[in-house]
Amino acid sequence: MTSLAIAANGLRKSYGDKVVLDGIDLAVPAGTVFSLLGPNGAGKTTAVKILSTLISADGGDLHVAGHDLAADPQAVRAAIGVTGQFSAVDGLITGEENMLLMADLHHLSKREGRRVATELLERFDLVEAAKKPAASYSGGMKRRLDIAMTLVGSPRIIFLDEPTTGLDPRSRHNMWGIIRELVSDGVTVFLTTQYLDEADELADRIAVLSDGKIAAEGSADELKRLIPGGHVRLRFADPAAYRSASAALREVTRDDEALSLQLPSDGSQRELRSILNWLDSVGVEADELTVHTPDLDDVFFALTGPTGSTSSTSSTGPTVPAAQNDQSKETAR
């Protein structure tokens, strides 16, 4: 038994001759947030539907909550919750009735069902609205109710398919708080989203799906380092220090007005140390050093561009004297 909540090896799915998932591998450690990113139609929902037993895969060795998806889908279903584009909320009945219905589906006793419903309605700030028809709820309230309903069965793994699409910024932030709380309770969250800032905020690991394959996978920081564009900016207050630094550094981008120099860098600890050592060795002190990494938008566009996967790995080190620029490209964390 592994500590992976979700493990997929060679997950395949086609519709007719359209290959949607072309043998992808996923490994989601228990108690973490994993985000599957991809453009429209990339296959995110298909992956969620397969892993949550709603549809079957064409191939692959798939385990969720330690159970083989093909051999024991019932056990998988008992361990998971799914919320997302296909909402389970019934608008004709009240929020409370929706919750109690869910409790019935999970075979909770009347008394236990009431207790769980009350607790979750409180937790999701739905007490005031509990006796009103769910159709009258705002988008954010409906999403909260949807997640509350999912939690009635105390799932250890939750699939959230684009949980904040269409929500206003405040509701999105509320939802992020809810997701963080779930994870702090030990729940594993499999999140699909088109919002890169959402993956950046929440996910421990992110996989970018493109053309049926995982184009890249890693933490948000690791992914940002995959593409060129990261740099370190050195700013000087003293024009003389600026001049000596720019004379000594080769291939930097100079900004004579701002007295700043820009060096290509992946922002890793090793590179920063190398830059700092070099500044010390030439006796120059910068007044400000800032690290600029590409954001996830840059990564997303580079990996899922119009021509498909164009993964490129930056091998540009800081432009420090060659003798000191000997660090490998492994990440510092």
Report which of 258, 241, 269, 256 is spatially closest to residue 332, judged by C-alpha positions: 269
Q: CA angle at residue 103 from 102 to 109, to 5 degrees?
A: 160
Cβ density class 179-201: b for 16+ within 10 Å, e for less: beebbeeebbbbbbbbbbebbbb
> Rounded distance, CA 57 to CA 46, Å?
9
> Rounded distance, CA 32 to CA 157, Å?
10
> Rounded distance, CA 120 to CA 130, Å?
11
Kindly tell me which of 15 and 135 has the beta carbon lying closer to ligand ATP: 15
Q: Is 91 in the site for ligand ATP (CB under 6 A)?
A: no
Q: Which two tokens stand for residue 161?
A: 């398919």
Q: Is 86 in the site for ligand ATP (CB under 6 A)?
A: no
Q: Which of residues 253-312 bind ligand ATP (CB under 6 A)?
A: none
Part of the chain binding ligand ATP (CB under 6 A), chosen from 39-47, 106-114, 136-144, 287-295: 39-47
Kindly tell me which of 43 and 318 has the beta carbon lying closer to ligand ATP: 43
Query: In the set 5, 28, 35, 45, which binds ligand ATP (CB under 6 A)?
Result: 45
Output the smallest distance, CB 41 to ligand ATP, in A.
Answer: 4
Query: In the set 1, 3, 17, 40, which binds ligand ATP (CB under 6 A)?
Result: 40
Q: Which of residues 183-212 bind ligand ATP (CB under 6 A)?
A: 194
Q: Is 38 in the site for ligand ATP (CB under 6 A)?
A: yes
Part of the chain binding ligand ATP (CB under 6 A), chosen from 41-49, 86-94, 111-119, 125-133: 41-49
Query: In the set 2, 41, 177, 282, which binds ligand ATP (CB under 6 A)?
Result: 41
> Rounded distance, CA 1 to CA 66, Å?
7
Backbone torsions φ then ψ of 248, nearest 5 degrees: -85, -30
Part of the chain binding ligand ATP (CB under 6 A), chosen from 34-42, 227-235, 285-293, 311-319: 34-42
Kindly tell me which of 41 and 239 has the beta carbon lying closer to ligand ATP: 41
Beta bridge mates, 34: 190, 205
Query: In the set 11, 28, 37, 46, which binds ligand ATP (CB under 6 A)?
Result: 46
Q: Is 143 in the site for ligand ATP (CB under 6 A)?
A: no
DSSP 111: H
What sign does the CA torsion over 321, 323, 328, 331 have? negative
Part of the chain binding ligand ATP (CB under 6 A), chosen from 36-44, 124-132, 174-182, 318-326: 36-44
Kindly tell me which of 44 and 213 has the beta carbon lying closer to ligand ATP: 44
Q: Is 140 in the site for ligand ATP (CB under 6 A)?
A: no
SS3 category, 43: coil
295, exposed or middle or buried, with CB in 10 Å at 0-12, 13-18, 19+?
Answer: middle
Q: Is 177 in the site for ligand ATP (CB under 6 A)?
A: no
Q: Is 43 in the site for ligand ATP (CB under 6 A)?
A: yes
Backbone torsions φ then ψ of 265, nearest 5 degrees: -165, 150
What's the Cα-to-Cα distance from 77 to each of 59, 156, 225, rounded to whole Å? 19, 11, 37
Output the smallest distance, CB 48 to ligand ATP, in A.
Answer: 8
SS3 category, 233: strand
Q: Are strands 253-255 and 260-264 parallel, antiparallel or unpaired?
A: antiparallel
Output the smallest distance, CB 236 to ligand ATP, in A.
Answer: 46
Query: In the set 20, 62, 145, 259, which binds ligand ATP (CB under 6 A)?
Result: 20
Query: In the set 44, 143, 213, 231, which binds ligand ATP (CB under 6 A)?
Result: 44
How many residues in the shown chain lie near ligand ATP by CB under 6 A? 11
Check if the beta carbon of residue 121 is closer than 8 Å to that of residue 127. Answer: yes
- Contacting residues toward ligand ATP, per CB under 6 A: 15, 20, 38, 40-46, 194
